[in-house]
Chain A
Amino acid sequence: MEQDWIWGLVGGLLIGTGGAVYLLANGRIMGASGIIGGLVDGTGRSTAAERVVFLAGVILLPILLYPLYGHVDTHVSTNPLVIVAAGLLVGAGTRLANGCTSGHGVCGISRFSLRGIVATVFYILAGGLTVVFFRHLLGVI
Chain B
Amino acid sequence: MRLLFAFIAGGLFGAGLFVSGMTDTSKVQGWLDVFGDWDPTLAFVMGGAIIPMAIAWRLVPGRKPLVGGDFPEPQEPRVSRNLVLGSTMFGAGWGLAGLCPGPAIASLSYGGVWHWVFAAAMLAGMALTPMLRVRLDRMVPAE
Contact = CB atoms under 8 A, between A and B. Distances in A.
A92 B92 CA distance: 11
A106 B88 CA distance: 18
Range of interface residues on B (Cβ < 8 Å):
35 or more
Interface in B32-52: 32-36, 39-52
Interface string A14-51: 11111111111111111011001100110000000111
B57 A4 contact: no
A15 B12 contact: yes
Contact of A126 (B45, B53, B92): B92
B102 A32 contact: yes
Most buried by A among B5, B84, B102, B106: B102
A126 B52 contact: no
Contacts of A119: 83-84, 86-87
A94 B101 contact: yes
B110 A66 contact: yes
Contact of B93 (A59, A66, A89): A89
Given A10-B19, A13-B52, A24-B66, A58 B105 contact: yes
Contact of B87 (A29, A36, A56, A123): A123
Contacts of B102: 32, 58, 100-102
B58 to A, nearest CB: 9
B122 A90 contact: yes
Dominant secondary structure at the B interface: helix
Interface residues of A, number: 105
Contacts of A17: 12, 16, 52
B80 to A, nearest CB: 8
Contact of B95 (A6, A84, A129): A129
Contacts of B7: 53-54, 56-57
Given A33-B101, A66-B109, A141-B96, A132 B53 contact: no
A13 to B, nearest CB: 5
Given A14-B16, A30-B13, A126 B87 contact: yes
Contacts of B115: 74, 76
A4 B48 contact: no
A22 B72 CA distance: 12
A49 B2 CA distance: 10
13 contacts: A9-B45, A12-B51, A15-B13, A22-B6, A25-B67, A32-B105, A57-B13, A58-B14, A65-B18, A91-B127, A102-B102, A134-B95, A135-B29
Give 4 nearest A-B pairs by CB, closest first. A12-B48, A11-B20, A91-B125, A87-B121
